[in-house]
Structure 1
Amino acid sequence: MQNQTQINSIHQLVELQVSKTPDAVAVVFEDQHLTYRELNERANQLAHYLQTLGVKPEVLVGICVDRSLEMIVGLLGILKAGGAYVPLDPSYPQERLSFIIQDTQLPVLLTQHRLREIVPTHQVQIICIDNWQAIAGQPADDPSREVQPQNLAYVIYTSGSTGQPKGVAIEHRNTIAFINWAEEFFTTEQLAGVLASTSLCFDLSIFEIFVTLSCGGKVIVAQNALHLPNLPAANEVTLINTVPSAIAELFRMKGIPTSVQTVNLAGEPLQSTLVQQLYQLDHIQQVFNLYGPTEDTTYSTVALMEKGTSEIPSIGRPISQTQIYLLDAHLNPVLTGAEGELYISGAGLARGYLNRPELTSEKFISNPFSQQPEQARLYKTGDLAAYMPNGELKVFGRIDHQVKIRGFRVELGEIEALLNKSLGIQQAVVVARDDNMGNKRLVAYIVPKSSTKVALQQVTARILRSLLKQKLPEYMVPSAFVQLDELPLTLNGKIDRRALPVPQWTRMEAGAYVAPHSPVEIQLAEIWNRLLEVEQIGTYDSFYELGGNSLLAIQLVYQTNEAFQIELLLSKFLENPTIAGLAQTIDALRGAEISTNKTNNLTVEVELDPTIYPENTLVEPVLELFLTGATGFLGAFLLAELLEQSRSDVYCLVRASSIEEGKARLHNTLKRYQLWNEDFSARIVPILGDLSQPSLGIEAGQFLRLAEKIDIIYHCGAWVNMIYPYSALAASNVIGTQEVLRLASQTKIKPVHFISTVDVFSTANEAEIRVVGERDATGPFSSLYNGYAQSKYIAEKLVMTAHSRGLPVSIYRPSNIMGHSQTGICQNNGFVARMVKGCIQMGIAPELKAVLNLVPVDFVSQSIYHLSRRQSSFGKAFQVVNPVSLEWEQLVNWINRQGYPLEIVAYETWYSQLLKQRQNRTSENALTPLTALFVNQQFIQQSLGSFYFELEDSLDKLAVNSIVCPPVNDDLLNSYFSYFTKCGFLNPSYSESQMRDLVLQ
């Protein structure tokens, strides 16, 4: 090892390793990696670039990036530039990120393009590290070294007892001392592959990244510890450094690879039973219990756990260059076996708290027991501990109200301070309790200012949780809120935390209860019940409003994958964390034959099954029809059109458990839209099946008989979802289309009329309104702005491939489908309708460059039928749209004239008001469930519309049959608003449960 007197900084230790093993792999993330040379050169280029921006010693640089190779390059680049990094977790609420940025007065912030919208800018200069072209021109050699050991290396913010987080300032010499210990304590073999799964805002990450890189190991980056089993490099991990709750779940899910020999556990009290469970795995050779606060650079003590013992684990002995003192209230040492407060001294001790001199003086005091300069101070930890006769330390608790939740340090006072500022709360106290699985969960006990019913209704768990989520990280938001008439007190008048009642983990007021009904939903409810310990869980209850957290979410995804034999990603569950949303995702993923994790590259190649080729010839005349999607809005009108315009029987694919249930669903759908005619009954034939399943979920023999029976196919069925990604929708929308084409090609040729959407046009990167001609082609997959559009785009490609093989096909692309032109009957949960209602409820509308192309559903169904009857339509795609579009501002002005006062305001102002509506859970605003979507202004513009249309040929063909699209005028809009008023849609009391399913149309 190089003479340590020559090492002034962390990055010099890394550079020393680069010189030894330049071609060894340094960092791995998923299927990407960087060698030590590549990592060093990229970090050098970034460092030179940062230096041109004024970064030098003692200059703080923020870093807010997703877990990636760029994260490691960013950290090392900041240090090489001479700066000190300040980690900002992208999952933190904006208010907390904003506080840290203001408190540090960051001049520069590294982030990624996809995170720019969540990063508060203030006066900070934003650098997108994934825009490497701006950085690539910098030199790749090591920058000049101006960094001294006493210069800052990083500042990590921890929870603060006074209500504000505090930044712990660590110098290079502190971390160098820590790395030197680790290099002596651990072998090269142990550090060969270290799992880097900890947030940069948690100091375990220092070990995972900088110890590993300084000692020649491989940093294997993961989203979190529980993603380990799915990592491509899982079998290269030799050491796991995490918290006990995470390793316990890895053990339960049998997710610890046989390559792992060493486990470091820290951040939470360690149980002996867990240690012995780990030792049951033959490949686990050593389990270490490590202890240390952020103020002492990650670890202060270490203990090797013994195999076969049931004793309470100790935290061992101090690491090198660290001294531990157990003192009484007068700073006198306590006797062996007696409890005392744990104080730390040594080379790892932080500079103090950034911009908090008084708190620094309070927590870092002079050391009366040593005259050596590196031991001049003591850090007051607040932990109670005792020396055992063998010289090892055991920790027994706290002298204050600090706790550890999944390894994160939480000052309960910070949560209590925020609750006590809330309207309607007289007093609040927060405690940590163990659930039935041994996990720590926060419980808030609140006393309302009034015991009246109104006050109790106002102070709800949902409102309080929403308030706290805007200010605190997820791990600091209580899982349960308990209302009390008064808090229990001790004899001397203090709050008696031990007398607080054990919470009943119930639904609280999570929302109107809707019982799970399908077998999948019932099975999911059982899994949720075990994890959340909530007896009654509704189909639409939010996982987080029931007390879920990130660790429980990971456990839930694992158990769901085990139960249903699928590969659900955590990110997909979080997009709609309800039983209903999860059940539909499971339905979509089951039987999917395409990759569900390759669409991040925004390119998908799907080929039509080569066995799908038309057999024999086209049969005339058409006698029997097959329709998918008949229980949807357009599908119902198309079914009625087919029945009215022909004498054919219509076979309808429907999801149901029996023919009787299928008939009832179709009957009720037609009746709902005032389309039912008793004469239809004998001509509607339910076919039980599922678009997302092979052969449409139809038994092989019946599939063949159906292929012989039917003569023409109208494929209207799809999973329409504004939120879900392509991977979740592909089974229904893409594979389902392939199976329809298979049906069309077997035994005899059956023309296919495929209903798509105008959303397949390129829109994602275009802010301006476009004009689309009748013969325009769709743009690239990568430019489409949501997963639904992408799935329909790929499905169109399959349809046209089938056409090239000889199958007659036509494609129809409707725009925004509105209600019937005469009755006004609409689907109230459509995006345009919901947008109108939400704006009316707020009294304001956003200023948008959007063009609404509103097309009545009866015009769409009539157009599809009549165009489908023409031989010349085969091989063509038709835009089924209104020849006259309506600008958003025109619609808002029309609404004003109808007596609904609407003021057009800047988008930011409108969105801010929507956020306030979201906080006020009693507002019932139609848009609050979609608030997260509206962060992106472009999304709402694209959803309302971004095209003018130029149409000639198809309109001429329709005019021959007297099919003319009604203009969007007072008569048409009046019919819609009349229906909205009649059905109660525009009534403030309209049930939110009737509106909750926009994304599940």
Structure 2
Amino acid sequence: MEFQITHENVNYDFHIQQNLFKNVVSIFEAVSQSFPKKLAIISKDKSLSYEELDRQSDKLASHLLSLRLTGTSIAVCMSSSVEQIISYLAVLKIGAAYIPLDGQLPESRIKLIMGDSGAEFIITENAYISKFSGMNTPLVNMSNWTGEPVEQGLEVISPDDINPMQTAYIIYTSGSTGIPKGVEIHHEAFYTFVKYFTELWGFSAKDRTLQFSSTGFDVSIIDLWIPLFTGATIILYPDNKIIGKPLLDFIVDNKIDVVPYLPPAVLSTLPTDVPIGCLHTLFIAGEVPSEQTIKNWYNRVRLINVYGPTETTVCVVSHHFQGDTNPHIIGKPLNSVQLYILNKELEHVNEGITGEIYIGGKQLAKGYINKPLETAEVFIEAPEWMKQIRGTDYRLYKSGDRAFYRKDGNIEFVGRLDDQVKLRGFRIELKEIEHHIGQLAQVANVAVKVHRPEQGLPVLVAFLELYDADKERITLEDIRARLKQSLPTYMLPEKIILYDKLPLTLTGKIDKGKLYIPIQHTIKKAKEKVDISDLMQEMTEIWRELLNLDEIDENDNFFELGGHSLMLAQLHDRLPLNIQKKISLPELYRFPTISLFVKEAESRLVKNEVTQQQKARLVEEQLLKDSELPFDFEITVQPDPQVLTNPSKIFLTGGTGFVGSHLLEELIARNPNAIIYCLVRAENEILALERIKNTFLKFKLTWNVNYESRIKILLGDLTKPRLGIDEKAYEKLEREIQVIYHMGSDVSYVQPYEFIKKPNVDGMAHILHLAVSGKTKFLIISSSMGVYSWGRTFTGKTWMTEDEPIEQNLPAVCRDMGYIKSKWVMEKMASKAREKGLPLINFRLGFVVCHGETGATPLTQWWSSLMRSCIELKAFPLVMGLKDEVVTVDYVCKAIAHISQKPDAVGLNFNLNPLPEHDLSLTDFCVHITDYCGLEMKGLDFQNWFEQWRRNQELPIYSLLYLFTDDVHEGKSLVEAYENTYYFKSDNTERFLKDTDIRPAIFNKKVMEAYLRFMKMI
């Protein structure tokens, strides 16, 4: 489009004249000649027209010329004022480069910048002149400057004499080494940005704009120079530390219609329930805004998000929010740049795939002043394929920002490469956590950082600023509960700290350096013994140390205060040794308050200890009782068996889990006429669908937009009657659903049985109710090879078939972890329903480690945690015959989907385990990693291996410490008890898969490499 500067009857065609401009000085000269009498700048104590601004800057330029400063760099350290802008213009007019210095910077940093840049002159004022004491650099004090040139009649140099490649300004940014880096921007980059940015967003000479930013930062180019180069009037904001309603009042009172830059954190402080006057356009930049901030403003103004590294002249991508409120969308590139999203090999990545942003074109900076090595690291030579298109001297800027192209052509920002942190073996994106917290309507601003105490584990801490109206309406428990719906456990902040106002930097970004945790304590070692009388005090002290809190009530809940499974392992490890022997780690879930724990501990210390055999007998009685059907039913009419081959209405649980998401993909592919009803816990259907999409993305599954028409979301919860589904919707399900695939269950290796019973055992009861209500439905369930437990110790058998009763393994099951107990009860309950006529197919899954091709795996699962720990230790335990029946998820889901469509599969059990000749033990698996992937690991006897990491709280396996310590049978830990477990026959499975290509994966080099690559271990 043609961009015009317009004022009354004056028209100035900027686009055509652009070809005549060699530098930004010529642009300003053209504008000032077009609008000589129009106000250019308004401050609290004076104003200047374009003609006056031109003349005043000429006078200062004449003075600088008399000092022979052409082609040098000149530091300008002044507060926001008319004189500051005069100084910048004067420096540009003599062909020198200005270095903006914020007067609030520490004197040491100013001296560092002065030394690094080699600045030959300083322009300052009374308020900051002391910061340059001791320097030999000459200066002019603008507080005393009269405005008259020293040498009368000295000509200002012609703009035509300023080369486009001369440096216009030098902006200093933070350096990773702690030494700031000066980015040199030349005139060509400067005016190229001005041309294309103003063309795109249509700045007008009629605009009255706010100048808010500190001019020591590159965004000042937008709110200072863009208005001046388009004939607009700038109103200087007197103090950018005063935000909120006073800032909005200033905008309204001064009839400001365009705000060229405001930090999102500052925008979030502006009231949304008062008039905004003439304001119609607002640009935000510098950090990802909260979604609520976007929702508050995109309907009130033209809200534009701006993205660009300093090294590429302010902005290379921008986005107008119109209906969408995704804060991570940064938009499309300006026509003046070429933006690429590339992988590590500098190749294009496909749509939807995250890569690193690389930028080319005329807006690239020269580099970092006096830092050739740092310049070469990020201003790189283009790959050969790009040179063939752009030329042999084409350069790219390597941004360090990660993003991907969306289907609509917009770019979605993911985060900095260096925003990734690694905690407990997981790579965590802090920006992702901030994004999810920022989606909460009550949150105005959020920052997440890693807190590393002197002793103990590093922890994630979230710092929140809430909207005033919501501070009394939401609790920390509410926030934690909502985050659990969208974030994996390892990404949940251990602490949430509320601030009235989060501290901001000079640029308006959240200043993470000023965020702190008020109380810090030292973690101590466990005591040998504590008397009953001192137990309350001892436990209070341990809680205070672990939770990093100053005050704790004896009735406070450990988990509501930020405790989690890893911290629970620390807590158990800190218990006095005489208490550790009495109360196991999983039992701590039953006593989440100090008062409950102390009461239980006191009871166990004075009573005779219950023997292992007595405990097992009590547990056995409980499991048998829980496996009874909770309601009676009678099957009068069996469903049509042919429904299995071509169902139209399928109900699926567990669709947001590892196995369930892969099965969902398989069911959609194999049942082209079916609608899949997915039970999902979420606040609404949109978030529920997002959970499914995110699961697909996490596990490298391809999401097809057509899936949305095939999936019907049902908001609900396995733990609740009617699955938490609305009564009318549930009655409709009773009538319409034909086949149920029950894949949902809670997989926790730490929680005790009574905690995991609700989602697993009660959940199974609720599924059975749906299966027999209304009309009888086919039920396909996901059980586990774990129902056999380590039963070989009690049965003496070597082999187990699919049809042998699982009751014979109950002596081992009742000594196993809570999860295995729940799976045994689930299968037993389902088998009783089958005996009453329910058409049921039971699949017992081996341990589903990963996908056979992509290597995708849940990083928190037992096997992945164990492998990552062994790799970090470079050692594995020699527990002979410890087998978890490891299989791949693609095999499991293809087998389930295929077999479940066969009517003659009804009533049978199917073991989905590896073939005996490929059944890997833990030792075999680790040896394969060593042989196939070149990772050095050695086998150690169990105790020696255990002592290698016993106190290493950073290892992923640490939260499962009790599996290696607690005596479950005859002095053996649970891990040791699994030594020399069964071999399994799977005759039914083999028979039904005989004429297919579906076979258990062999964990060969290809599978192992994909698995380790997904975990980022190679």
Q: TM-score range by the shorter chain?
A: 0.3 to 0.5
Larger of the two Rg values belongs to structure: 2
Q: Provide TM-score, normalisation by structure 2.
A: 0.41
Q: Provide TM-score, normalisation by structure 1.
A: 0.42
